[in-house]
Amino acid sequence: MPPLPPSLPGAIQAPLATSGGTEGGWLYTLLTKAGVDPSTAQTVVDFVVRPLEIVLVLVVAALVARYGARVLRRVLTRATSRATARNDDERGGARVSTVVALVVNLWRLFVAVVALAIVLGMLGINLTPILASATVIGATIGFGAQSLVRDYLSGMLLTMEDQYGIGDTVTVGNATGVVEDLSLRVTRLRAVDGSVWYVPNGEIRLLSNGSRGWAKAVVDVPVAPGDAEALERVRQAMTDAAREVADQPPFSSTSAEPPEVVGMVAAGADSCTVRVALRTVPARRTALERALREAVMARLAADELLPGESAQE
């Protein structure tokens, strides 16, 4: 076996010294050049300087998160306020608050994740295996819980777009009710009969909101078939009955427009269907429809314009 070359020990020690200087950083190099023992220099770096650097990173992250959130809140408030003012949105204030709070929370989460990654790197923890494991775990969860991820993303978009809110009466598929609770994953509805519907946000594809802006109370009434003169009598009777209802409290304050008799919407051998509509606010629509139906039926019965009475004559 040939003897080892004399330069081998030196070749082994040189990388060790270089590696120690590289790991310690500029302060370690400065202390070793000043004659400080390498172990002492490394101890100073690990227990004095490194904690100060970590504290500095955390302080800077806190300041960035705080003042960045202020800037975002100010910019988004101005932008969304102008948009809602142009659209004359009555719920503009609530929508602005929801969108701003969501974006600010996302910003703070982003800053926290970046600060955590920097601190782990300063502690000498290799982030590559962690990121690789997180990628694999995230992909597995993503494939296994696609519906859950879709629910959260849909809930975020529904909240930002303010398609509905708590207290609104909505129809989602076969479910109709008042929104009692709204989260990023599920929406809870209370039906008229007291049933509670839990609708995952990812399943919402077509939604009808009956609590925004204005509404119309629409009533269809069957009347006796007849000629043009009889139809005109029906129109006048329905108009008078609708005006009486619109002038009475509590509908007088919400019925700003006169009633509209649309006319005949269906016809048969024994009866015709005439429609009357009155504009109101969404909260009064159901009660106004009941009052309109009762008043119109009473007036038509008094004028003997209902199908049964006409047949008896």
Tell me which range, 92-106, 138-152, 220-234, is most confidently predicted by mean pLDDT: 220-234
> Whole-model pTM?
0.51
Confidence (pLDDT) at 196: 92
Residues 84 and 173 in one domain: no
Confidence (pLDDT) at 64: 93
Residues 230 and 191 in one domain: no
Higher pLDDT, 258 or 188: 188
Q: Could you tell me the CA-to-CA distances from 133 to 110, 127, 140 in Å, in that order? A: 20, 10, 11
Confidence (pLDDT) at 63: 94
CB 139 within 8 A of CB 149: no
Residue 3 has pLDDT above 60, yes or no: no
Domain boundary among the residues 180, 209, 238 is at: 209
Residue 109 lies in a domain: yes
Residue 59 has pLDDT above 60, yes or no: yes
Q: Could you tell me the CA-to-CA distances from 64 to 68, 177, 311 in Å, in that order? A: 5, 43, 82
- 264 token code pair: 């005949």
Residues 236 and 294 in one domain: yes
Residue 60 pLDDT level (bands cut at 50, 70, 90): very high
Higher pLDDT, 311 or 129: 129
Confidence (pLDDT) at 1: 44
Residue range 8-34: mean pLDDT, rounded: 53
- State which residues form the domain around 173: 164-209
Confidence (pLDDT) at 197: 92
Q: pLDDT averaged over the chain?
A: 77
Residue 93 pLDDT level (bands cut at 50, 70, 90): low
Confidence (pLDDT) at 85: 59
Residues 248 and 286 in one domain: yes
Instruction: Kindly report the CATH number assigned to the domain that includes residue 203.
Output: 2.30.30.60
Burial class (CB in 10 A: 0-12, 13-18, 19+), 187: buried
Residues 184 and 205 in one domain: yes
Beta bridge partners of 181: 188
Residue 280 lies in a domain: yes
Residue 243 lies in a domain: yes
18 residue type, one letter? T
Tell me which range, 39-48, 51-60, 84-93, is most confidently predicted by mean pLDDT: 51-60
Residues 114 and 187 in one domain: no
Residues 281 and 239 in one domain: yes
Residue range 264-281: mean pLDDT, rounded: 81
Per-residue model confidence as pLDDT tens digits over 107-126: 888 899 889 888 888 777 77
Confidence (pLDDT) at 90: 56
Confidence (pLDDT) at 92: 58
Residue 102 lies in a domain: yes
How many domains does the chain contain in total? 3
Buried b (16+ CB within 10 A) or exposed e, 32-46: beeeeeeeebbebbe
Confidence (pLDDT) at 96: 67
Residue 117 lies in a domain: yes
CA separation for the pair 273, 97 (Å, rounded): 47
* Residues 6 or more apart whose Cβ sits within 8 Å of residue 307: 222, 223, 224, 225, 270, 271
Confidence (pLDDT) at 40: 78
Residue 157 has pLDDT above 90, yes or no: no
Residue range 160-179: mean pLDDT, rounded: 84
Confidence (pLDDT) at 313: 46
Residue range 284-291: mean pLDDT, rounded: 84
Residues 244 and 293 in one domain: yes
Higher pLDDT, 82 or 169: 169
Confidence (pLDDT) at 183: 78
Domain boundary among the residues 209, 232, 264 is at: 209
Per-residue model confidence as pLDDT tens digits over 207-245: 888 877 788 888 888 887 776 787 888 888 888 888 888
Residues 250 and 193 in one domain: no
Percent of the chain with pLDDT over 90: 6
Confidence (pLDDT) at 7: 44
Residue 105 lies in a domain: yes
